[in-house]
Amino acid sequence: MKRALVLYHSLFGNTKTVAMSLARGIEELGIEVDCMSIGEVDINEIPKHDLIAIGSPTHMIRPSKEMKEFLNQLRNIELRGLFGFSFDTRNESRMNKRSLLVLENSAARSIEGMMKRLKMKIIKPRVSSIVHGREGPLDIGAEEKFHQIGREIGTILTN
Ligand SMILES: Cc1cc2nc3c(=O)[nH]c(=O)nc-3n(C[C@H](O)[C@H](O)[C@H](O)COP(=O)(O)O)c2cc1C
């Protein structure tokens, strides 16, 4: 049986919510899924999965400090050849749109970059979900969107 691991960091719960929707979608394809925060995971268990999905809130256009520290730890384990998927939550404001012209306002971009440097296979390009205000709520339809992405990824993984 294929195994997937969905990891997240979340200050206000929004990234956790979409992570859980993603996990539920993957699980529906008959895949064994572990979904937990980066603070809960045993780093040595990570390579035992076929797919690693990692999500973070966007802080200062990049992953949160906690997520950046966690990503650095991944250099110590062998993830080459495993499937990877990255996601984030972020705000959409006029300022963000302007900053997009220079640097992408997305935690997932950095996570995906790290996955590529670790020679993981990107199963699907990164996806962002919009949060209104700092604490939420999530954009309408975000949970369903991530549920469907989970099913999509699960389908690729089982084929
Ligand atoms: C310290 C801090 C910095 C933030 N910086 C950004 C940013 O650069 N771009 C953005 O779109 N949202 C930014 N936000 C909004 C977060 O993306 C939002 O709080 C997050 O998506 C909520 O997810 P969570 O509930 O999982 O913590 C910031 C929030 C905090 C608390």
Query: Has residue 65 got a pLDDT over 90?
Result: yes
Q: Report the pocket of ligand 1 as residue ranges, CB < 6 Å.
A: 10-15, 57-61, 89-91, 96, 105, 131, 134, 136
Q: Average pLDDT in the 128-149 region?
A: 97
Q: Which atom in ligand 1 lies closest to the alpha carbon of residue 93?
A: 11
**Ligand 1 mean position, distance from CA 102 (Å):** 19
- The two three-digit tokens of residue 157, written as one number: 């993984």
Q: Are strands 62-63 and 51-59 parallel, antiparallel or unpaired?
A: antiparallel
**Ligand 1 mean position, distance from CA 155 (Å):** 31
- The two three-digit tokens of residue 113, written as one number: 């970059």
**Looking at the 3D structure of the chain, how many domains does it have?**
1
> For the segment 33-63, what is each residue's pLDDT rounded down to a tens digit?
999 999 999 999 999 999 999 999 999 999 9
What range does the domain containing 36 cover? 3-158
Gap between the Cα atoms of 105 and 120, Å rounded: 23
What is the CATH number for 49? 3.40.50.360
- Using alpha carbons, select from 38, 14, 36 the residue that is nearest to residue 88: 14
DSSP 87-150: EEEE---HHHHHHHTTS---HHHHHHHHHHHTT-EESS--EEEEBSTTT-PBPTTHHHHHHHHH
Which residue is closest in CA terms to ligand 1's atom 1? Answer: 59
> For the segment 76-121, what is each residue's pLDDT rounded down to a tens digit?
999 999 999 999 999 986 555 555 556 889 999 999 999 999 999 9
Q: Average pLDDT in the 17-29 region?
A: 98
Gap between the Cα atoms of 4 and 20, Å rounded: 12
Q: Which atom in ligand 1 lies closest to the alpha carbon of residue 8?
A: 26
**Ligand 1 mean position, distance from CA 153 (Å):** 26
**Ligand 1 mean position, distance from CA 120 (Å):** 26
